[in-house]
A and B are shown apart, each in its own frame.
Chain A
Amino acid sequence: MASITLKLNNKNYTIEADPKMPLLWAIRDLAGLTGTKYGCGIAQCGACTVHLEGVPVRSCSVPVSSAANKNITTIEGLSTDNSTAVQRAWILEQVPQCGYCQSGQIMAASALLKRNPNPTDKDIDAAMQGHICRCGTYPRIRKAIKTAAQLMTQK
């Protein structure tokens, strides 16, 4: 066990954890932020995606010790009032059905648009391919990413 400081959404959380505990469980069970979801535990579904120093990573596959003192953003840290372009687009296009995978989808889409404000279909495929949605909201995810890109230019 080790004392580890997590910088989650610009707030410090000091937790006692096995250094090998995946960041996902530290965020959910120890820091108590449940927007980040468990889906597969082996980096194959994308539900647990958070930003580590701005880069989207699978929190199920990051040992908590290697995320210590680094800037982590979870879905709760995007905005609480749904004001980011991606969240607005997700509402406009009515993307979620069950909604469980959407935290991860939104984190991936946000990171994509940050580095590529005008993604092509191919760029969207590459960035979103690691994210599974069992409800099949994929057509709307694609549409919403394009809508978000437009919203960003209007700002």
Chain B
Amino acid sequence: METTSKNISRRNFIKLSGLTGTALTLGFSFSASANELDIWNAAAAESSGVELNAWISIDTNGKVTLLNHRSEMGQGSFQSVPQMIAEELEVALDQVNIIFAPGNGRKYGSQVTGGSSTIRGSYKKLLRLGASAREMLIETAAKKWGVNKSDCYAENGSVIHRASGKKFHYGELVTEAAKLEPPKDVVLKNPKDYKLIRKPLPRQDTPMKVNGKAVFGLDFKLPGMLYAVVERSPRFQGKVIKWDDTETKKVPGVKHVLKVTRDEFGNMREGVAVVADNTWAAMQGRKALKIEWDDTAFPHHSTEELYTKMRDQVKGEMISFRTMGNTTSAFAKAEKKVEATYETPYESHSCMEPLNCVANVTDDKIEIWGPIQGPDWIQQNICSHFKLPPEKVIVNMTFLGGGFGRKAFTDYPYEAVMISKEIKAPVQVIWTREDDMTIGPFRPGMVYQCKGAVTGNGRIGSFETKISGQNMDMQNPGADKTSYNGSDTEGFLEGYFESIPHYSFGDSPLDSPVPVMWWRSVYSSTNAFAFESFIDELAAQASKDPIDFRRQHLGERYQLLMNKLEQVTGWKERGKNTGYGVAITECFSSIVGEVVKVSKTADGKIKIDKVWAVMDCGWYVNPDIIKAQVEGSIVMALGAATKHETTFKDGKAVERNFDAYKMPRIQEIPEIEVHIMDNEEKAGGVGEPGLPPFTPALTNAIFDLTGTRIRRLPFSLDKTA
């Protein structure tokens, strides 16, 4: 497959895809004012004045060009999207050429790669798009031969007449097919007939990721481009009073020093940028800067203060989110009850590729290149700041060296645009690792107070959770701070809501200047630890097997997942001297169950022997990518559970680099076995749902082995046994 990570403008795409009448180009229209057809032939759309969201184009050589509207940050959209199109279109995967769509919310709908949504959000449309093109090509061939359409079929980029074996390559048909209306209804393939979907096909982006050719944001260069680093206020809302750049300007290579701002949730954060002709000179120049900050207008929180406040707040009044029955009276009356408080830490995203962005501001437009999860959001943000129409702001996506939520945030391109505009040259802003780790936003830490009751027959009688932590939606100036956090129950199994008679979830938002943002699996990444630990505590109180205890409350889809978990882990035959823990969570429309097996080493440490995961994400594309995503999610969860946290002291983040913010490393990784459920449920997310169940499964396993409950993260495996 020919691939390009060089980003292209819409005009270039049209050129590349041959949108000139000699190609068959089909796309979506997201416009509500367009008529009921949402798949359009490009030529027809143009003549009816419909703004087309061009997605695929087949040229006269039969080559398929696909515009990928989502970014590739490791999760595999670069592979799974073409795999879907190629399946219904009946072409080989190497006939599909993929290019990244530039950011344009109006054309492509939401392009934010978040919420594990690339496939689950658009798979039916993508399949229909491929199938529509296929049907139009078959129809064209049938007409040419003067035969019935039903006597023809498509295979490997050709239409074949069944009786005679006559054959047309797609390339020979596109010119005429382009004149047809896309069919209103197309029949999608039966999953049993899939040739590409559900096969562990190798990723098309792998070859360029093993020889240094893949272009990440940091690798993107323009002629005459300068490099900038920015000294930002080490306390989150500090303002520049003045600075002295005498020494900075003596550093060879330093060209400009200027004050910059950065739009963080609508609050303008300040910094001083040093621009030079290479990255290192800019870094050296920055070290020589002397800046005086005004940081008197906001509290300088420490981790201790934050958690003291949260611990206090969970004892007070809650903003109620979701309730059923009366947990207070149910708890008061219950004979068997459990109370527990769980605490999770703040975390840094720490993508291996630190934040960076290239901007080139010229007289007539602003163009941006970078590792970007939300190109359309960035386009909107830049348009509104610089008062430009969308067609003058072009946001291009490179490969992302990790994203995990951080690169969906719109702050970092703004600085680059501001600098480029000021110095009238293309510029790349590079965040050092220390910037990336200390400026935020962070995954917020949380405190959960759980109260639950077990009924006489060993079921959950009531389940109450009071949550305190920063609400990610309350950071904009003027945000409503009285509304509930709709994400309070993220990670909790939907099935429990149908079977627990009394439940309540409420929160008390913490106010702090620490900026917070989505972190892989968002609130589930922290909620699940409380929920699934607490379910385990209730199971122990009921003296029931942890899986049997859950079974009583859950419907068929969950039962099948638990059967699979028991089967692959040998749950019922598990031996002594080892600990087994289970956790099952649900988010982004996928359910994942994980089992962790632990044992004690000779010197009294906890060793994770093995992790099993069963993923039920419904309809899926590529099992190997799913396995890779679950493996990676487990490793990331292992880090947050046992290795790293971001702490604050005197209003500043303490951990600045990988020496203090310790990552899991190869020698600490247990064997991981991933299974995928086969069913016809709707497609769910893949990139995130594997993360939340790991930590509670681990701590539940440690309880099984040692009798000790771990209720605060992170903890050390060396000091637990």
Contact = CB atoms under 8 A, between A and B. Distances in A.
Direct contact of A and B (CB under 8 A): yes
Interface string A82-107: 10000100110011111111110010
B78 to A, nearest CB: 10
A90 B219 contact: no
10 contacts: A1-B252, A30-B278, A34-B218, A42-B659, A98-B351, A102-B209, A132-B665, A134-B350, A137-B631, A139-B672
Contacts of B95: none
Interface residues of B, number: 62
Interface of B: 73-76, 202-203, 205-207, 209-216, 218-219, 221, 227, 252-253, 278-281, 284, 350-354, 399-404, 430, 432-433, 624, 628-629, 631-636, 657-659, 663-667, 669, 671-672
B305 to A, nearest CB: 29
A100 B352 contact: yes
Interface residues of A, number: 61
Name, among B74, B430, B634, the residue most crowded by chain A CB atoms within 10 Å (CB to CB). B74
Nearest to A32: B221
A96 B354 CA distance: 18
A131 B666 contact: yes
A39 B433 contact: yes
Contacts of A11: none
Given A37-B353, A75-B211, A134-B350, 6 more contacts: A41-B432, A99-B216, A100-B402, A131-B666, A139-B669, A140-B628
Contacts of B658: 39-40, 42, 44-45, 132
Contacts of B350: 134
Contact of B401 (A98, A138, A140, A141): A98
A96 B631 contact: no
Contacts of B76: 97
B667 A125 contact: yes
Contacts of B205: 96, 99
Q: Which 9 pairs across A and B sit closest by C-beta, in order of nearness?
A: A35-B212, A136-B635, A100-B401, A98-B74, A99-B209, A97-B74, A136-B632, A34-B219, A125-B667
A138 B669 CA distance: 7
A80 B254 CA distance: 35
Contact of B211 (A39, A80, A141): A80
Given A29-B227, A42-B657, A99-B74, A129 B216 contact: no
Contacts of A103: 212
B634 A98 contact: no
Given A18-B280, A45-B658, A125-B666, A135 B74 contact: yes
Contacts of A94: 202-203, 206, 624, 628
Nearest to B213: A35
Contacts of A18: 252-253, 280-281, 284
Contacts of B353: 37, 39, 98, 100
A82 B211 contact: yes
